């Protein structure tokens, strides 16, 4: 066949004219198609992320509860244990909400929320056990 642009004689299965570069056949691989397809995943990852402040607060609360627990242990302060227990319960609640938000709405801090939940449960569990042991010790003494 002949090129419709420059008129040079080219092979029938040619997609582009070797002389002038004009597209003469209907090629299956169009160079312009590939970059458009590559842009699509970028648009998907650019979804607006939901903030997850509750999950972060839960993690911070769990860390603070551990801190109060350690200080309470060193100072042998029952009051600090109670503060630590309250913070631990707050950490469990906030972390559970944060974990739920993270998994349902693709929000950040999923790992932090899980950590906060685990630490909160451990602090509360140990505090309750120590509280029961403390009560038992008191009942033995008096
Ligand atoms: Zn040509």
pLDDT truncated to tens, each residue of the chain (142 aa)?
Answer: 898 899 999 988 888 999 999 888 775 544 554 455 555 454 444 445 568 889 899 999 999 999 998 888 888 777 888 888 899 999 999 999 999 988 888 888 888 899 999 999 998 998 888 778 877 877 776 6
**Distance, CA 8 to ligand 1 centroid (Å)?**
6
Q: What is the pLDDT of residue 46?
A: 46
- Given a contact cutoff of 8 angstroms between Cβ atoms, the answer to whether 10 and 2 are in contact is yes
Beta carbons within 8 Å of 59's beta carbon, 6+ residues apart? 91, 95, 98, 109, 112, 113, 115, 116, 119
Rounded distance between C-alpha atoms, residue 10 and residue 17, angstroms: 7
In angstroms, what is the span from residue 16 Cα to ligand 1's centroid?
A: 8
Dist. CA 31 → ligand 1 center (Å): 18
The alpha carbon of 6 and the centre of ligand 1 are apart by a number of angstroms equal to: 4
Instruction: Tell me how far the alpha carbon of residue 9 lies from the centroid of ligand 1, in angstroms.
Output: 8
- The residue behind tokens 């010790």 is 137
pLDDT for residue 27: 58
Q: Which sequence spans correspond to the domains of the chain?
A: 1-46, 53-141
CA of 33 from ligand 1 middle (Å) equals 23
| Centre of ligand 1 from the C-alpha of residue 5, in Å | 5
How far apart are the CA of 36 and the centre of ligand 1, in A? Answer: 27
Task: Determine the distance separating the centroid of ligand 1 and the alpha carbon of 58, expressed in angstroms.
Answer: 69
């Amino acid at each position: 066949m002949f090129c419709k642009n420059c008129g040079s004689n080219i092979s029938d299965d040619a997609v582009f004219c070797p002389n002038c570069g004009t597209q003469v056949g209907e090629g299956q691989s169009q160079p312009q198609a590939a970059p458009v397809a590559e842009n699509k995943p970028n648009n998907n990852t650019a979804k607006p992320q939901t903030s997850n402040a509750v999950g972060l607060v839960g993690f911070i609360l769990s860390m603070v509860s551990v801190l109060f627990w350690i200080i309470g242990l060193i100072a042998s302060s029952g009051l600090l244990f109670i503060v630590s227990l309250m913070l631990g319960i707050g950490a469990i609640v906030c972390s559970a909400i944060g974990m739920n938000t993270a998994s349902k709405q693709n929000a950040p801090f999923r790992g932090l929320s899980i950590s906060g939940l685990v630490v909160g449960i451990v602090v509360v569990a140990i505090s309750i056990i120590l509280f029961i042991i403390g009560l038992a010790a008191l009942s033995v003494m008096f």
